């Protein structure tokens, strides 16, 4: 009887040891699994953090590029504006007043004999012969004196004035009656009166 009891105790002890070992192994596996999950989480967080840093840097670079481009675009726009202001001569205003269009053209120091004005139903063509500039005048004076050594030296610091023949075409938004067009000078401004073509109207009898 005592032997059986002892055997049972030994067997129970063995099972207890096996159970304890199994629990320890499970606990170790759980710890390793949790450690792996934590490492994966840290890796994901690191990747996410690096991705956010890269994205922030890329956005900053893009903002800098856009800002630089806008600045260059504004400079380019100003350059184009200055260029067209200088080259698109003579300068004009086009107004609409009731049944007419009024074209105003800046022509300082220009006589009517130096202006060729032509009109169609859809546009106005202006050709202007501007006076020679100082460079040409100096060259002519030097040629007359036949003294190239003593001729004055000319260097442009700023050059915006037109010279020679300048032509410009101004498109019109509506058709005009070319037979009634009139032009006159008021000071240094050429004013062209452009009457619109009146659309025919017919009275319709209602039956």
- The full set of domain ranges for the chain reads 1-87, 89-129+164-195
Q: Can you name the CATH fold of 89-129+164-195? A: Immunoglobulin-like (2.60.40)
* Of residues 129, 130, 122, 124, the one with CA closest to residue 103: 124
- Res 15: pLDDT: 66
Categorize the per-residue pLDDT at 103 as very low, low, confident or very high, splitting at 50, 70 and 90.
very high
SS3 content of the chain, % helix, strand, coil (to 5): 50, 25, 25
Give yes or no for a cis peptide into 204 (omega within 30° of 0).
no
Distance CA(133)–CA(201), nearest Å, equals 54
Q: What is the mean pLDDT of the chain?
A: 75
Q: Give per-residue pLDDT as tens, 49-87.
A: 788 888 888 888 888 887 777 666 666 555 444 444 444
Using the predicted structure, report yes or no on whether residue 122 has a pLDDT greater than 70: yes
Q: What does the pLDDT average to over 170-199? A: 92
């Amino acid at each position: 009887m005592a032997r059986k009891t002892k055997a049972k105790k030994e067997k129970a002890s063995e099972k207890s040891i096996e159970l304890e070992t199994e629990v320890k192994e499970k606990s170790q596996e759980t710890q390793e699994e949790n450690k792996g999950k934590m490492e994966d989480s840290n890796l994901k967080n690191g990747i996410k953090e690096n991705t956010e840093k890269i994205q922030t840097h890329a956005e900053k670079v893009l903002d800098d590029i856009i800002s630089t481009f806008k600045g260059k675009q504004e400079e380019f726009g100003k350059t184009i504006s200055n260029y067209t202001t200088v080259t698109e001569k003579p300068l004009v205003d086009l107004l609409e007043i009731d049944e007419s269009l009024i074209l105003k053209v800046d022509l300082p120091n220009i006589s009517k004999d130096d202006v060729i004005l032509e009109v169609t139903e859809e546009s106005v063509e202006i050709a202007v012969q501007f006076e020679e500039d100082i460079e040409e005048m100096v060259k002519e004076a030097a040629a007359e004196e036949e003294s190239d050594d003593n001729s004055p030296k000319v260097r442009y610091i700023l050059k915006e004035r037109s010279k020679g023949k300048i032509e410009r075409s101004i498109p019109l938004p509506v058709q005009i009656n070319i037979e009634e067009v009139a032009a006159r000078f008021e000071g240094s401004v050429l004013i062209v009166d452009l009457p619109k073509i009146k659309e025919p109207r017919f009275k319709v009898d209602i039956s």
